[in-house]
Amino acid sequence: MDETEQSLANQSSLTEFLLLGFSEVQELQILHFFAFLAFYLAAVTGNLLIISAVAFDHHLHTPMYFFLMCLALQDLGQVSVIVPKSMANSLMNTRHISYSGCVAQVFLFLFLLASDFSLLTVMAYDRYIAICNPLQYEMLMNKQACIEMVASVWITGFLYGVLHTGGTFASPFCSNIVNQFFCEIPHLLKLACSDLYLIEIGALALSAVLGLGCFVFIIISYVHIFTAVLKIPSTKGRQKAFSTCLPHLIVFSIFVSTGYFSYFKPTSSTLTNLDLAFTMIYSMVPPILNPVIYSMRNKEIRHSLSKLLALRHASKNSFFKFFV
């Protein structure tokens, strides 16, 4: 530890944190930058395409696609909260993040993470009503109900972010070295100097119980969906329903299992490759997989994107012809 790190580590109130450096070798840092850049551009492009398709095609102004657009917005925000800072640090060969920047990163990441979890629960309910109670769908999933559900999702995410950010930063820190590539709560709690961090441990335990309840609700919803799908006489219809629902359930299960591992495994002083892999899976994989799993495999989304891209291409050609 150099003198700057040691002096900061001895302070109870810090002005900055030092995030995990992927390598001491500059060439490997540049490689990390380009790898994260490729991932980030893929995630941003995929989610922006979904947002554009739903926003500009009135045929997609239905509850399911409204929820998909909200999910894309949240995934876009989630990946933008943690990836650009890590990329910038690698490019500039630094590890610094300000105290306020770390607080903001924790709050925004948890707000968006909790919103994703809640919205996926709402989407499971939406599919359950659509498949198991189609005659009541329009009444239960009207415009006002959908807006209220999304508002509830964002309010829940906001309160979740405030609760855990307050609990995490209530305790003074004895060190400024965060052994992760972004400000993640478990690694921040390892730096706590007082027993106040136990408040956040209790909040995390409560969140785990609530999250488990949502997960059980989603599983039960999909059990009912699969039961209804098996009654479909058409083999093609059953295959279509299963090909839509099963990937949703698989991605969500991976998201939950890796997130639980990252937050509730026994703490250790060193970061293992498995720890890093699980953190990257729950924090970075869903934003790039959700557009593919939930939307790009959807025929109506693909059709809307084709029309949107064709329209832009035609507009660009008209623009050039005007000046020629």
Domain residue limits at 178: 14-317
Assigned domain for 6 exists:
no
CA angle 184-285-209, nearest 5°? 55
Assigned domain for 322 exists:
no
Among 26-40, 103-117, 226-240, the minimum mean pLDDT is found in: 226-240
Other Cβ atoms closer than 10 A to 191: 19
If phi > 0 it is left, if psi is from -120 to 50 it is alpha, else beta; for residue 169 that is: alpha
Residue 137 predicted with pLDDT over 70: yes
What pLDDT sits at residue 266?
Answer: 66
3-class DSSP state for residue 97? strand
Assigned domain for 221 exists:
yes
Residue 287 predicted with pLDDT over 60: yes
3-class DSSP state for residue 285? helix
**Where is pLDDT greater, at 258 or 108?**
108
Assigned domain for 294 exists:
yes
CATH of the domain at 241: 1.20.1070.10
* 261-299: burial string, b at 16+ Cβ within 10 Å, e else: bbbeeeeeeeeeeebbebbbbbbbbbbbbbbebbbeebe
Residue 8 predicted with pLDDT over 70: no
> Which value, to the nearest 10 degrees, does the dihedral of the CA atoms of residues 195, 199, 202, 203 take?
-150
What are the C-alpha distances in Å from 143 to residues 27, 63, 293? Answer: 52, 7, 25
What pLDDT sits at residue 11?
Answer: 44
Pairwise CA distance, residues 198 & 205, whole Å: 10
Assigned domain for 209 exists:
yes
Contact 251, 286 (CB under 8 A): yes
Assigned domain for 8 exists:
no
Residue 6 predicted with pLDDT over 50: no
Q: Domain count of the chain?
A: 1
DSSP 8-state assignment for residue 128: H
Assigned domain for 227 exists:
yes
What pLDDT sits at residue 296?
Answer: 60
pTM, two decimals, is 0.85
Among 63-72, 216-225, 241-250, 266-275, the minimum mean pLDDT is found in: 266-275
Q: What percent of the chain has pLDDT over 70?
A: 86
What pLDDT sits at residue 37?
Answer: 94
What are the C-alpha distances in Å from 194 to residues 171, 179, 198? Answer: 6, 19, 9
Among 65-69, 98-102, 186-190, 272-276, the minimum mean pLDDT is found in: 272-276
**Where is pLDDT greater, at 189 or 9?**
189
Assigned domain for 324 exists:
no
Residue 234 predicted with pLDDT over 80: no
Q: What percent of the chain has pLDDT over 90?
A: 32
Written as six digits, the tokens of 110 are: 């948890």
Among 7-11, 55-59, 136-140, 196-200, the minimum mean pLDDT is found in: 7-11
